[in-house]
C-alpha cells in the first residue's frame, strides 16, 4: 500500500494549475482533499505521474451566496459547509453528516467529491436533486455543466482533459420547500448501501413540485422521475406513498455487491423514499 | 489445591482496581511496536502474492525486479534450499507440508510466491510489480460443501481427499436412542471472519554476534523460537525472539507466519536488519481467517422438548490449511462444547476439517465455541417452537444445577464449578424487563419489531496446546528474583498483547511476596530473559501463568522468612510479610525490610543462616493436574484447566424496511471464578462482545466462485464505538476448586454468546414471518429477505 512514484506540484493560481494539466495531459490528476485519490494511489488503482495539488489556490476556497444560490469553490471542505450557514440550501446541510467521518470531512472537499463521481457519494446526489451547476475551468475559459449532464458513469465525469472543476453552484430554494436526506449505510460513516434525497413543494397540501433522487443504486445518482410523477399533484397519503415507493423500486437499476442484491436495494430505496416523503409531508 | 497456591497474606492488589501498567505509555503514544523499530541499515521486504486461488506455477521471472535501483535481492522458494517445511506433529491429520513460499502450486489468492528485499518498502513494492509469475489455473474449491464432495478438486494431490482431519467416532449408542424417539434435525453455519487487530502482523530480524534476533508480533516467544529452529538451519540457542508492544493478538498472532521466517532468512543471508510490516490489504488475505463452520445436529427429543441424545457433525473450512500451528483445533473445540451447560449425557460428534482455496483459517478469540453455542442455543429455541413449550422452561429443565456439580460432559469436560442456572435466571429477569419496556416503546411503530434472545454457555479456558500443535502441552513458567535493594524482577513466559497481562503478573507477584506493587518489575516476551513458557492462547495466562507465579513466590517467600527469622531471632512461623517488611505478627517493630533481607541473601551472605545457599530467587513451572492432552479411546478429553460460564441476553429492534438490527439492550452475566482485576475483566467482556457482535451482524469475508476474495478492508465492517450497544455486566464468582486461587479465564466469554442471543432475539422479533435463522452473519440484507414484501 505504497504509491508508485509521482511528481507533485502545488500551484497558487488556477491558470498555473491548468498549465500543469495541459503540459502533462492524462498523466496528471488534480489533488484536492485526497480522501479518495490518496487511497487509490496507495492501492495503485490510480497511477498519475503528476499530482497537481489545487489546495493553495485561493479562488477555489471561496464560498459565497449570489442571486442564483450558493457558489462553493472546489476545495471548500465538507466540514466547512457543515459548520457554516448555507441558508436556503437545507438539503446540503442535511447531507453533510453522512459523508464519511468528521476527520474525512475536515479534508474532503465539495469539488473533489463531485468530480470523483462515486456512485455512493452524497454530494453528487445533492447536486442532482437541486439541479446544481458545475463550473469547469480550462485554459480557454469557463463553461457551465448542469448536474444532470455532469455524471458520466461510475467514477466518471464529463470534464474535458485539461479542465478543472472550479466551483459548484447549488441553487437556493424558498423556505416553504421541504427537503429530506435519507441514507442507509452498514455503519455510521460507511458508504451508502442506498440513499434518497428529496425536495418537495406543496400548495394546499398537494405536491406542486418534487425532486427525488436515489443514489448508491447504480452508476450515478438517478432522478426518480417515475416516483416524482406518482406524487405530482397529490396529497402524500398512504396511497401516494405506496405508489411513489413502488415506482422508485421499479425504475432504478441497482447493482449487486456483498452488502446487497439489486432486490434488496430496491427494497431499501422504497423504504427510504417512503420515510423521506413522510418526513416532508405537511 | 488451596494449600499449594496461596497469596501468602491478605491481598492488597488482587481483586482491586489496579491501573494497567501500560496505560501511560499507550495513552501518550510511547508504546514501541515493531513498526516503530528502525535499526540502522534496515532493509524492507515486499511479498509477491498469488492473484489466483488455485494453480500450478510454471515460471517465475525476477530479473526485471532485481534490476530496479535499490533492490537487494528477489527470492523464490527455489532459493530457500536450507529451509525445512513447517513440521506437522498430528498423526491423525493429513499434512499440508507448509513452506514459506509457494513451491509448485498456489492454493489461495494471497499465497506468498516471491519476496523482494529492497532499501525501503516503496522500492520493494515498485519492484514486486515487476516479478512475473506464470500459472496454469486449476479449478478452485471455494466452499466447505464443495470440499466435502468426493470428486472435489484436491488441493494436495498426495492426499486422498480434501479432509485434513476426519474423525468419525462410533455413534451406535446414540443411533439407537435416535431410532426410538422423535428426531429433530437442523443445520447451522457460521460465516468467515477474523480478528482484525489494530496492529497488523510485523517482524524485524537482525543478526547480533552471530545470533538471530527476531522482534515480532507473535503471541509466544518460546514457541516461535523453537519453531524457527525447526524451519531454519539454526540452533535454538542462536535465536532470540522478542515481542515488543503488540496491538492486539486475539489468536490471529498465534501462528508463526511465512514472513516471520522470511525476514529471518534474509537477515541471516544479508547480515543486515530486515523488516516486514504487513499492510492492511495484505492482512485481509494473508493473515489467518476464522470460523467458517457448518454444524448438523440430529437430536432425539422427549415430549417436553428435552434433548435425550444428539448426533452432531462439525465441518470446519480451513482454507488452504497452509499455516502453523494448523487450525483444525477450533472444530475439535466446537465438538467439546456441543452439549452446553445442559445435562445431555449422550452426544456423539464427528469432526471434519476440510481444505479450500481460501486464505488459511487460524485461531481467533472464541476458538470453536461461538459456533457450538450458536448452533445449540438456536436449536433449543427451535425445539421449543416446534414442540410448543416455553424456550426458557426448556432450558431450565436441562440446565446443570449446583447439586449436579462436579459434572463431566459427554465430551469429557470436567465442570467443577459454575453458576449456569443462577446466571441464566439473572439475565432472564433483566432481559424480560428490558423486552417489556422495548415492546411498550415501539408498540405504535409499524416499521419496528422487537425481540429478546438468550444464550447460556460454558466455555473451556486454559486449554492444552496439544489440540492445536500435537506437540506442546500446557505449562507456564515464572522466575522471581529479589534484588539487593528489595526490588523484584519477575519474568514469565506469558505475553501481553494489550490485554493487561503485565498488570496481573505484577499484581499476583506483589501480593504473593507481600511487597508494594511499585517495586515489582515485569519482564515478558523475551526468550533470552524469561523461562520457557507457552504464552497467550485460550484465556490461560492468569490461570496457568498465575499458578507459576504463586509457586515461584511461595519459594521466595519461604526463604525470605527463613532469613528474616534468623535476622530477627524470631520463630519463622510467627512472621508475616507486609508492604515489603517482615515482622512478628501483631507487632510491626522490630522489622526487617525486603532490601535488608535481599542484601543479606546476595551481598552480605556472611549474615545468612548457617548453611543457607546465597541468592533470593526461584523459578517454578505449573501445569494443571487435571488438564488432559490426548483423548481416551472414546474420544473424551478434559482439555482445559477450567471452565468459565456466561449467560447473554439481547433485546433488539428490527427495522422492517431496511432489515437492520438495532441492539437496544445487551446484558451479560459472566463467571470467571476469582477476579484479579475488575476493570480488566470488564474490558475483556466489552471487547469480546464487540468481536462477537462483529461476526454476528457485520463482518464477512466473502469469496466468489473463482476463490477471489471480495471483502476489502472498507467492506470489512468491524463495529465501531457507534455500533457498540451499552452493555450491562453482572458478575458471578464461582471459584474453581482445581485452579490457583480459583481463577478461570475471561478472555473469550463475551465473544461466544452474541450470535446465539441475537439469532434468538431475531427469531422472536420476526416470529410472525416464521424466519429461518440458521446462519451468520445476520446482515440487514439477510434479515430483510426474511420479511415479506407486502409493506413498502
Average pLDDT over residues B368-374: 98
Q: What is the pLDDT of residues A22-67, one digit of tens each?
A: 999 999 999 999 999 999 999 999 999 999 999 999 999 999 999 9
B129, A271: Cβ pair inside 8 Å? no
Instruction: Tell me how close the Cα of B661 comes to any Cα of chain A, in angstroms.
Output: 11
B279 shares its domain with B318 = no
Provide the H-helix boundaries in B200-353: 221-231, 258-270, 280-286, 329-336
**How would residue B792 be classed by pLDDT, with cut points 50, 70 and 90?**
very low
Query: Which among B715, B781, B790 is the top mutation candidate for probing chain A, defined by the most A β-carbons within 10 Å of its own β-carbon?
Result: B781
Q: Between the CA of residue B130 and those of B79, B80, B115, B255, B550, what are the distances in Å?
A: 18, 21, 12, 30, 57
**Contact predicate A18/A59, CB 8 Å:** no
Question: Between A266 and B2, whose confidence is greater?
Answer: A266
ipTM field: 0.96
| Residue B7: pLDDT over 50 | yes
Residue in the block written with cell 507481600: B514
Residue percentage of chain A with pLDDT more than 70 = 100
B434 shares its domain with B297 = yes
Global pTM value: 0.97
B715, A274: Cβ pair inside 8 Å? no
B617 shares its domain with B634 = no
Q: Between the CA of residue B321 and those of A33, B415, B673, B736, what are the distances in Å?
A: 42, 32, 36, 36
A260, B717: Cβ pair inside 8 Å? no
What is the spatial distance between Cα B296 and Cα B708, in angstroms, rounded to a whole number? Answer: 27
On chain A, the residues whose CB falls within 8 A of the CB of B720 are: 187-189
What is the spatial distance between Cα B466 and Cα B89, in angstroms, rounded to a whole number? Answer: 10
A186, B780: Cβ pair inside 8 Å? yes
Instruction: Tell me how close the Cα of A63 comes to any Cα of chain B, in angstroms.
Output: 32
A274, B122: Cβ pair inside 8 Å? no
Residue percentage of chain B with pLDDT more than 90 = 97
Query: Which of A242, A246, A258 is opposite residue B711, by nearest beta carbon?
Result: A258
> Strand, helix or coil at B590?
strand
Average pLDDT over residues B125-134: 98
Q: What is the pLDDT of residues A193-227, one digit of tens each?
A: 999 999 999 999 999 999 999 999 999 999 999 99
B459 shares its domain with B481 = no
Q: Has residue B777 been placed in a domain?
A: yes
On chain A, the residues whose CB falls within 8 A of the CB of B700 are: 258
C-alpha A206, offset from chain centre: 28
On chain B, the residues whose CB falls within 8 A of the CB of A242 are: 792
Q: What is the pLDDT of residues B228-263, one digit of tens each?
A: 999 999 999 999 999 999 999 999 999 999 999 999
Q: Which residues contact B417 (CB under 8 A, 6 or more apart)?
A: B405, B406, B673, B734, B735, B736, B737, B742
- Residues in chain B whose beta carbon is closer than 8 A to a beta carbon of chain A? 121-122, 125-126, 129, 279-281, 447, 657-660, 698, 700, 702, 710-711, 714-715, 717, 719-720, 722-723, 779-781, 784-785, 789, 792
B281, A1: Cβ pair inside 8 Å? yes
| Residue B790: pLDDT over 80 | no
A188, B722: Cβ pair inside 8 Å? yes
On chain A, the residues whose CB falls within 8 A of the CB of B781 are: 259-261, 264
| Residue B75: pLDDT over 70 | yes
On chain B, the residues whose CB falls within 8 A of the CB of A272 are: 657-658
Q: Has residue B15 been placed in a domain?
A: no
Q: What is the CA radius of gyration of chain A?
A: 19
The pLDDT of residue B4: 67
Average pLDDT over residues B572-586: 96
Residue of B nearest to A270 (CA): B792
B779, A184: Cβ pair inside 8 Å? no
B555 shares its domain with B643 = no
Cell numbers at A71, concatenated: 457558489
Number of neighbours of residue B599 by Cβ within 10 angstroms: 19
Query: Which of B129, B722, B792 is opposite residue A274, by nearest beta carbon?
Result: B792
Q: Could you tell me whether strands B520-524 and B488-492 are parallel, antiparallel, or unpaired per DSSP bridges?
A: parallel
B779, A186: Cβ pair inside 8 Å? yes
Domain count, chain B: 3
The pLDDT of residue B747: 87
Helix (H) or strand (E) holding B315: strand B307-317
**What CATH code is carried by the domain that includes residue B81?**
3.90.1170.50
Q: Has residue B121 been placed in a domain?
A: yes
Q: Is the dihedral of CA A100, A106, A109, A112 positive or negative?
A: negative
B295 shares its domain with B269 = no
What is the spatial distance between Cα A84 and Cα A63, in angstroms, rounded to a whole number? Answer: 10
Which of A238-247, B6-15, B360-369, B686-695 has the least mean pLDDT? B6-15
Q: What is the pLDDT of residues B44-71, one digit of tens each?
A: 999 999 999 999 999 999 999 999 999 9
B710, A242: Cβ pair inside 8 Å? no
Q: Has residue B14 been placed in a domain?
A: no
B485 shares its domain with B613 = yes
3-state SS track over chain A: CCCCCCEEECCCCHHHHHHHHHHHHHHEEEECCCCCHHHHHHCCCCCCCEEEECCCCHHHHCEEEECCEEEEECCCEHHHHHHCCCCCCHHHHHHHHHCCCHHHHHHCEHHHHHHHCCCCCHHHHHHHHCCCEEEEEECCEEEEEEHHHHECCCCCECCCCCCEEEEEEEECCCCCCEEEEEEEECCCCCCEEEEEEEEEEEECCEEEEEEEEEECCCCCCEECHHHHHHHCCCECCHHHHHHHHHHHHHHCCCCCECCECHHHHHHHHHHHHHHHHHHHCC
Instruction: Tell me how close the Cα of B129 comes to any Cα of chain A, in angstroms.
Output: 10
Helix (H) or strand (E) holding B765: helix B754-765
B666 shares its domain with B618 = no
For chain B, the first-to-last Cα distance in angstroms comes to 64
Residue burial B458-475, b: 16+ Cβ < 10 Å; e: rest: bbbbbbbbbbbbbbbebb
B618 shares its domain with B632 = no
**DSSP per residue over B599-658, as a string?**
HHHHT-GGGSPTTPPS--EEEEEE--TT--SS--TTS----EEEEEEEEEEEEEEEETTT
Q: What is the pLDDT of residues B482-502, one digit of tens each?
A: 999 999 999 999 999 999 999
Q: Could you tell me whether strands B575-578 and B132-137 are parallel, antiparallel, or unpaired per DSSP bridges?
A: unpaired
Instruction: Tell me how close the Cα of A251 comes to any Cα of chain B, in angstroms.
Output: 15
What is the spatial distance between Cα A157 and Cα A41, in angstroms, rounded to a whole number? Answer: 19
Query: Which among B657, B659, B661, B698 is the top mutation candidate for probing chain A, defined by the most A β-carbons within 10 Å of its own β-carbon?
Result: B657
Instruction: Tell me how close the Cα of B35 comes to any Cα of chain A, in angstroms.
Output: 15
B657, A274: Cβ pair inside 8 Å? yes
Q: Could you tell me whether strands B274-277 and B239-242 are parallel, antiparallel, or unpaired per DSSP bridges?
A: unpaired
Number of neighbours of residue B10 by Cβ within 10 angstroms: 10
Instruction: Tell me how close the Cα of B780 comes to any Cα of chain A, in angstroms.
Output: 8
Structural domains in chain A, sorted by start: 7-53 (3.30.43.10), 58-170 (3.30.465.10), 178-280 (3.30.390.50)
On chain A, the residues whose CB falls within 8 A of the CB of B126 are: 4-5
Residue percentage of chain B with pLDDT more than 70 = 99
Q: Has residue B61 been placed in a domain?
A: yes
A188, B723: Cβ pair inside 8 Å? yes
Instruction: Tell me how close the Cα of A255 comes to any Cα of chain B, in angstroms.
Output: 14
On chain A, the residues whose CB falls within 8 A of the CB of B276 are: none
Q: Has residue B173 been placed in a domain?
A: no
On chain B, the residues whose CB falls within 8 A of the CB of A187 are: 698, 717, 719-720, 722-723
What is the spatial distance between Cα B538 and Cα B551, in angstroms, rounded to a whole number? Answer: 21
What is the spatial distance between Cα B656 and Cα B642, in angstroms, rounded to a whole number? Answer: 43
| Residue B376: pLDDT over 70 | yes
**How would residue B2 be classed by pLDDT, with cut points 50, 70 and 90?**
very low
A274, B280: Cβ pair inside 8 Å? no
A242, B792: Cβ pair inside 8 Å? yes
**Contact predicate B242/B527, CB 8 Å:** yes
Q: Has residue B164 been placed in a domain?
A: no
B677 shares its domain with B777 = yes
Residue in the block written with cell 501500560: B22
Question: What letter does residue B400 receive in the DSSP assignment?
Answer: P
In degrees, to the nearest 5, what angle opens at C-alpha B250 toward C-alphas B244 and B254? 65
Question: What letter does residue B363 receive in the DSSP assignment?
Answer: -
A193, B780: Cβ pair inside 8 Å? yes
What is the spatial distance between Cα B627 and Cα B475, in angstroms, rounded to a whole number? Answer: 10
Question: Between B3 and A277, whose confidence is greater?
Answer: A277
Cell numbers at B357, concatenated: 482455496
Q: What is the pLDDT of residues B506-521, one digit of tens each?
A: 999 999 999 999 999 9
The pLDDT of residue B15: 96
On chain B, the residues whose CB falls within 8 A of the CB of A4 are: 125-126, 129
Query: Which of B657, B702, B717 is opposite residue A271, by nearest beta carbon?
Result: B657
Query: Which among A258, A270, A278 is the top mutation candidate for probing chain B, defined by the most B β-carbons within 10 Å of its own β-carbon?
Result: A258
Burial group, residue B17, by CB count within 10 angstroms (0-12, 13-18, 19+) = exposed
What is the spatial distance between Cα A81 and Cα A106, in angstroms, rounded to a whole number? Answer: 10
In degrees, to the nearest 5, what angle opens at C-alpha B10 toward C-alphas B4 and B11? 85
Q: Could you tell me whether strands B520-524 and B661-671 are parallel, antiparallel, or unpaired per DSSP bridges?
A: unpaired
What is the spatial distance between Cα B152 and Cα B718, in angstroms, rounded to a whole number? Answer: 33
Residue A64, strand partner residues: A71
Query: Which of A186, A245, A260 is opposite residue B792, by nearest beta carbon?
Result: A245
Instruction: Tell me how close the Cα of A107 comes to any Cα of chain B, in angstroms.
Output: 18
Cell numbers at B56, concatenated: 500450478
Q: What is the pLDDT of residues B149-163, one digit of tens each?
A: 999 999 999 999 999
Q: Which residues contact B641 (CB under 8 A, 6 or more apart)?
A: B461, B462, B463, B474, B540, B543, B544, B624, B626, B627, B738, B739
**What CATH code is carried by the domain that includes residue B350?**
3.30.365.10
Provide the H-helix boundaries in B632-741: 678-693
Helices and strands (H, E) in chain B, number of each type: 20, 28
Query: Which of B280, B658, B700 is opposite residue A271, by nearest beta carbon?
Result: B658
Final residue belonging to a domain, choices B581, B599, B622: B622
On chain B, the residues whose CB falls within 8 A of the CB of A248 are: none
B545 shares its domain with B412 = no
Query: Which of B658, B698, B789 is opposite residue A184, by nearest beta carbon?
Result: B658
Residue of A nearest to B714 (CA): A190
What is the spatial distance between Cα B363 and Cα B534, in angstroms, rounded to a whole number? Answer: 15
Q: Has residue B392 been placed in a domain?
A: yes
Query: Which among A38, A271, A273 is the top mutation candidate for probing chain B, defined by the most B β-carbons within 10 Å of its own β-carbon?
Result: A271
The pLDDT of residue B5: 83
Residue of B nearest to A194 (CA): B658
Q: How many CB pairs under 8 A join A and B?
A: 78
B266 shares its domain with B309 = no
> Strand, helix or coil at B491?
strand
Q: What is the pLDDT of residues A145-157, one digit of tens each?
A: 999 999 999 999 9
What is the spatial distance between Cα B302 and Cα B305, in angstroms, rounded to a whole number? Answer: 5
Q: Which residues contact A27 (CB under 8 A, 6 or more apart)?
A: A48, A49, A50
What is the spatial distance between Cα B62 and Cα B65, in angstroms, rounded to a whole number? Answer: 5
Residue of A nearest to B127 (CA): A4
Which of B154, B77, B138, B196 has the alpha carbon at shortest distance from B320?
Answer: B154
Final residue belonging to a domain, choices B607, B622, B637: B622
Q: What is the CA radius of gyration of chain B?
A: 27
User: Edge to edge, what strands does the sheet with B71-76 contain?
Assistant: B71-76, B112-118, B43-49, B274-277, B202-208, B211-216, B239-242
What is the spatial distance between Cα A69 and Cα A127, in angstroms, rounded to a whole number? Answer: 12
A258, B700: Cβ pair inside 8 Å? yes
Which of B398, B295, B415 has the alpha carbon at shortest distance from B349?
Answer: B295
What domain range is B509 assigned to?
Answer: 23-31+475-622
Amino acid at each position: 500500500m505504497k504509491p508508485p512514484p509521482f511528481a507533485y506540484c502545488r500551484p497558487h493560481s488556477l491558470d498555473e494549475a491548468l498549465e500543469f494539466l495541459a503540459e502533462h495531459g492524462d498523466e496528471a490528476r488534480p489533488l484536492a482533499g485526497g480522501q479518495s485519490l490518496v487511497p487509490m494511489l496507495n492501492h495503485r488503482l490510480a497511477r498519475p505521474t503528476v499530482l497537481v495539488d489545487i489546495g493553495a489556490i485561493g479562488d477555489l476556497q471561496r464560498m459565497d451566496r449570489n442571486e442564483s444560490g450558493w457558489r462553493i469553490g472546489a476545495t471548500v471542505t465538507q466540514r466547512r459547509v457543515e459548520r457554516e450557514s448555507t441558508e436556503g440550501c437545507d438539503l446540503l446541510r442535511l447531507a453533510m453528516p453522512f459523508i464519511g467521518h468528521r476527520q474525512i470531512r475536515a479534508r474532503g472537499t465539495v469539488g473533489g467529491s463531485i468530480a470523483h463521481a462515486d456512485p455512493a457519494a452524497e454530494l453528487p446526489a445533492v447536486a442532482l436533486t437541486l439541479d446544481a451547476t458545475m463550473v469547469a475551468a480550462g485554459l480557454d475559459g469557463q463553461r457551465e455543466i448542469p448536474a444532470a449532464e455532469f455524471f458520466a458513469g461510475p467514477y466518471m465525469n464529463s470534464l474535458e482533459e485539461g479542465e478543472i472543476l472550479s466551483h459548484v453552484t447549488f441553487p437556493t430554494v424558498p423556505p416553504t420547500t421541504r427537503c429530506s436526506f435519507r441514507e442507509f449505510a452498514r455503519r455510521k460513516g460507511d458508504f451508502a448501501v442506498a440513499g434518497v434525497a428529496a425536495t418537495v413543494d406543496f400548495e394546499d397540501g398537494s405536491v406542486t413540485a418534487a425532486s427525488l433522487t436515489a443514489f448508491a443504486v447504480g452508476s450515478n445518482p438517478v432522478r426518480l422521475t417515475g416516483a416524482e410523477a406518482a406524487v405530482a399533484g397529490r396529497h402524500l397519503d398512504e396511497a401516494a406513498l405506496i405508489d411513489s415507493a413502488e415506482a422508485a423500486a421499479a425504475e432504478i437499476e441497482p447493482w449487486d455487491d456483498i452488502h446487497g442484491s439489486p432486490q434488496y436495494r430496491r427494497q431499501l430505496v422504497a423504504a427510504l423514499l417512503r420515510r423521506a416523503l413522510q418526513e416532508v409531508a405537511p | 489445591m488451596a494449600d499449594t497456591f496461596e497469596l501468602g497474606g491478605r491481598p492488597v492488589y488482587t481483586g482491586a482496581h489496579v491501573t494497567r501498567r501500560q496505560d501511560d505509555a499507550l495513552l501518550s503514544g510511547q508504546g514501541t511496536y515493531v513498526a516503530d523499530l528502525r535499526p540502522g541499515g534496515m532493509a524492507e521486504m515486499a511479498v509477491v502474492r498469488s492473484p489466483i486461488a488455485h494453480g500450478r506455477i510454471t515460471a517465475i521471472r525476477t530479473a526485471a525486479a532485481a534490476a530496479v535501483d535499490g533492490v537487494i535481492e528477489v527470492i523464490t522458494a527455489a532459493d530457500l534450499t536450507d529451509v525445512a517445511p513447517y513440521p506437522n506433529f498430528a498423526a491423525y491429520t493429513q499434512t499440508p507440508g507448509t513452506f514459506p513460499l509457494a513451491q509448485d502450486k498456489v492454493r489461495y489468492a494471497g499465497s506468498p510466491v516471491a519476496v523482494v528485499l529492497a532499501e525501503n518498502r516503496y522500492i520493494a513494492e515498485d519492484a514486486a510489480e515487476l516479478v512475473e509469475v506464470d500459472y496454469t489455473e486449476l479449478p478452485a474449491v471455494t466452499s466447505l460443501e464443495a470440499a466435502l464432495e468426493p470428486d472435489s478438486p484436491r488441493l494436495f494431490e498426495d492426499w486422498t481427499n480434501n479432509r485434513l482431519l476426519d474423525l468419525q467416532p462410533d455413534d451406535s449408542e446414540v443411533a439407537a436412542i435416535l431410532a426410538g424417539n422423535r428426531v429433530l434435525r437442523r443445520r447451522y453455519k457460521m460465516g468467515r471472519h477474523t480478528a482484525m487487530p489494530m496492529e497488523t502482523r510485523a517482524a524485524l530480524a537482525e543478526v547480533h554476534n552471530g545470533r538471530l534476533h527476531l522482534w515480532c508480533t507473535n503471541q509466544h516467544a518460546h514457541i516461535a523460537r523453537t519453531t524457527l529452529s525447526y524451519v531454519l538451519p539454526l540452533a535454538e540457542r542462536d535465536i532470540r525472539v522478542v515481542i515488543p508492544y503488540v496491538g492486539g493478538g486475539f489468536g490471529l498472532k498465534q501462528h508463526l507466519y511465512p514472513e516471520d521466517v522470511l525476514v529471518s532468512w534474509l537477515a541471516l543471508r544479508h547480515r543486515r536488519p530486515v523488516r516486514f510490516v504487513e499492510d492492511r490489504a495484505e492482512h485481509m488475505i494473508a493473515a489467518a481467517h476464522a470460523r467458517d463452520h457448518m454444524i448438523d445436529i440430529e437430536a432425539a427429543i422427549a415430549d417436553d422438548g428435552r434433548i435425550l441424545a444428539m448426533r452432531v457433525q462439525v465441518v470446519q473450512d480451513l482454507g488452504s490449511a497452509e499455516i502453523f500451528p494448523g487450525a483444525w483445533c477450533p472444530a475439535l473445540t466446537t465438538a467439546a462444547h456441543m452439549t452446553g451447560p445442559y445435562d445431555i449425557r449422550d452426544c456423539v460428534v464427528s469432526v471434519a476439517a476440510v481444505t479450500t482455496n481460501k486464505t488459511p483459517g487460524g485461531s481467533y478469540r472464541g476458538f470453536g465455541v461461538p459456533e457450538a453455542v450458536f448452533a445449540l442455543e438456536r436449536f433449543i429455541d427451535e425445539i421449543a417452537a416446534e414442540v410448543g413449550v416455553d424456550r426458557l422452561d426448556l432450558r431450565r429443565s436441562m440446565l446443570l444445577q449446583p447439586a449436579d456439580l462436579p459434572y463431566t460432559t459427554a465430551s469429557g469436560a470436567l465442570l467443577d464449578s459454575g453458576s449456569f442456572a443462577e446466571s441464566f435466571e439473572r439475565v432472564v429477569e433483566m432481559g424480560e424487563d428490558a423486552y417489556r419496556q422495548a415492546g411498550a416503546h415501539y408498540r405504535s411503530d409499524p416499521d419496528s419489531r422487537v425481540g429478546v434472545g438468550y444464550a447460556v454457555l460454558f466455555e473451556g479456558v486454559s486449554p492444552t496446546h496439544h489440540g492445536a500443535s500435537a506437540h506442546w502441552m500446557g505449562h507456564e513458567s515464572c522466575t522471581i528474583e529479589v534484588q539487593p535493594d528489595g526490588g523484584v524482577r519477575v519474568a514469565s513466559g506469558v505475553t501481553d498483547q494489550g490485554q493487561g497481562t503485565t498488570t496481573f503478573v505484577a499484581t499476583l507477584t506483589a501480593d504473593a511476596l507481600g511487597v508494594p506493587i511499585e517495586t515489582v518489575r515485569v519482564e515478558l516476551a523475551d526468550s533470552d530473559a524469561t523461562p520457557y513458557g507457552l504464552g497467550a492462547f485460550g484465556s490461560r495466562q492468569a490461570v496457568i501463568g498465575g499458578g507459576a507465579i504463586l509457586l515461584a513466590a511461595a519459594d521466595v517467600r519461604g526463604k525470605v522468612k527463613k532469613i528474616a527469622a534468623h535476622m530477627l531471632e524470631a520463630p519463622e512461623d510467627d512472621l508475616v510479610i507486609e508492604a515489603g517488611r517482615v515482622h512478628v505478627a501483631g507487632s510491626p517493630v522490630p522489622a526487617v525490610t525486603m532490601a535488608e533481607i535481599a542484601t543479606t541473601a546476595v551481598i552480605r551472605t556472611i549474615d545468612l543462616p548457617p548453611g543457607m545457599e546465597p541468592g533470593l530467587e526461584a523459578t517454578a513451572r505449573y501445569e494443571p493436574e487435571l488438564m488432559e492432552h490426548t483423548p481416551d479411546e472414546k474420544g473424551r478429553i478434559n482439555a482445559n484447566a477450567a471452565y468459565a460460564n456466561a449467560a447473554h441476553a439481547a433485546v433488539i429492534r428490527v427495522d422492517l424496511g431496511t432489515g437492520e438490527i438495532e441492539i437496544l439492550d445487551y446484558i451479560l452475566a459472566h463467571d470467571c471464578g476469582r477476579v484479579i482485576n475488575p476493570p480488566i475483566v470488564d474490558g475483556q467482556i466489552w471487547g469480546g462482545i464487540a468481536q462477537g457482535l462483529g461476526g454476528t451482524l457485520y463482518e464477512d469475508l466473502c469469496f466468489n466462485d473463482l476463490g477471489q476474495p471480495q471483502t476489502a478492508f472498507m467492506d470489512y465492517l468491524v463495529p465501531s464505538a457507534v455500533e457498540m450497544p451499552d452493555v450491562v455486566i453482572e458478575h458471578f464468582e464461582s471459584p474453581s476448586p482445581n485452579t490457583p486461587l480459583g481463577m478461570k479465564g475471561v478472555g473469550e466469554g463475551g465473544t461466544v454468546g452474541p450470535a446465539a442471543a441475537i439469532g434468538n432475539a431475531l427469531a422472536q422479533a420476526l416470529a410472525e414471518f416464521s424466519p429461518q435463522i440458521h446462519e451468520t452473519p445476520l446482515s440487514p440484507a439477510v434479515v430483510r429477505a426474511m420479511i415479506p414484501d407486502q409493506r413498502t
